[in-house]
Amino acid sequence: MSGYLAVIVVVLIFVVIFQIAKASEYVSILKGEKKSREQSNRINGFLMIVFLVLGLIGVWWCHDLLKDRMLGDPASDHGVGVDSLIKVTFIITMIVFVLTQIGLFVFAWRYQEKDGRKAFYFPHNNKLEVIWTVIPAIVLTVLVAFGIRHWLRMTSEAPKESMVVEVTGKQFNWIVRYPGKDGQLGRRNFKLTNDSNNPVGQDWADPLNHDDIIAPELHVVVGKPVKLIIGSRDVVHDVGLPHFRLKMDAVPGIPTTLWFTPTITTAEYRKKTGNPEFVYELACDQMCGSGHYSMKANIVVETQAEYDAWLAKQVTQFSQVEPAKEAAPAAPAVPADSTKAVAAVTK
């Protein structure tokens, strides 16, 4: 019944609009086409000025109303530069937006049709073409260059003292793997993957795997660079670190990396925001299926002592798979590119 009523209401609305249009047409005939058009232009010109003023006030009001819901200060060294670039981009685009909107509506009001006024028409103007083509091109090129600079920094080779953490996405959660005392991640083989005891396909024949730890949270040390080795078990995901102003695709079979240095611990950020329940979030920024909305994990930024205490309490994945066997001694930590160890499974 409600469906029929909805259809009837829609039909009645169209009928009313049609009748108003016909009435306006009859008024134009009675008053004269030219006079009616001029009156309509004056009304529309006035309404455009009203819309301009109310629109600009609305933009400012929305910004002022919602600014407290925006992300807080960046919690990484890269994030500071990204925020600065966003602010500069926002200022430039806001200036252009305000000027063009004022020009659009003021011109529509100021130069409406009037007796004795004839529109000036010109098909081409080289000077104007240069101004509105070259200047925006230069500004956008500079902004893009700074953006590429930040991108190359966060995707460049991490400092040698960086801690290495592997983040693997699967529908619909994150799997975080940490190296043990040897400081190196063990070899992986996707054929060995299973959800019961080997979620990332660790090759137990590699001794480097015997002290690796898998956890549902990402723990990092404040002030210490961390390199993330990112991958996926199924579809394309995206590691989103909003409070650190970073993101990177997680692609099946193709490890990707980024690095950053956390600058504010979780405890400090809770004091900063006045929210005792605040947690950093690792989100999926790529639509990956029906459970995409729930694909997230907590990030804990802590001191080195707190991280060491947490790591000491963790149980290695190998001991859960082979509780009767002791972990084989691993080679001492040496500077190595952990990405190669992960990528070796694709060869």
Nearest to 188 by CA among 162, 214, 163: 214
User: Does position 172 have pLDDT exceeding 70, yes or no?
Assistant: yes
Sign of the torsion angle spanned by Cα atoms 278, 226, 217, 315: negative
Closest CA to 321 of 199, 178, 236: 199
Give the integer Cα–Cα distance in Å for 84 and 91: 11
Q: What is the pLDDT of residue 338?
A: 46
**Higher pLDDT residue, 40 or 267?**
267
Spatial contact of 223 and 265, defined as CB atoms under 8 Å apart? no
* pLDDT at residue 327 is higher than 60: no
Q: Cβ(342)–Cβ(255) under 8 Å?
A: yes
State the helix-helix crossing angle for 77-110 and 126-155, rounded to 10 degrees: 160
H or E segment to which residue 260 belongs: strand 256-260
| CB-based burial label for 230 (10 Å; 0-12, 13-18, 19+) | buried
Q: Spell out the alpha helix ranges (H) of 260-316.
A: 266-273, 304-312
Summary mean pLDDT of the chain? 85
pLDDT tens for residues 125-148? 888 888 889 999 999 999 999 999
Q: pLDDT digits over 201-239, tens only?
A: 999 999 999 999 999 999 999 999 999 999 999 999 999
In the chain, where the domains are located: 18-73+95-113, 163-346
For residue 345, pLDDT over 50 is answered with no
| CATH of span 163-346 | 2.60.40.420
Q: Is the dihedral of CA 97, 99, 102, 105 positive or negative?
A: negative
Q: How far apart are CA 236 and CA 168, in angstroms?
A: 11
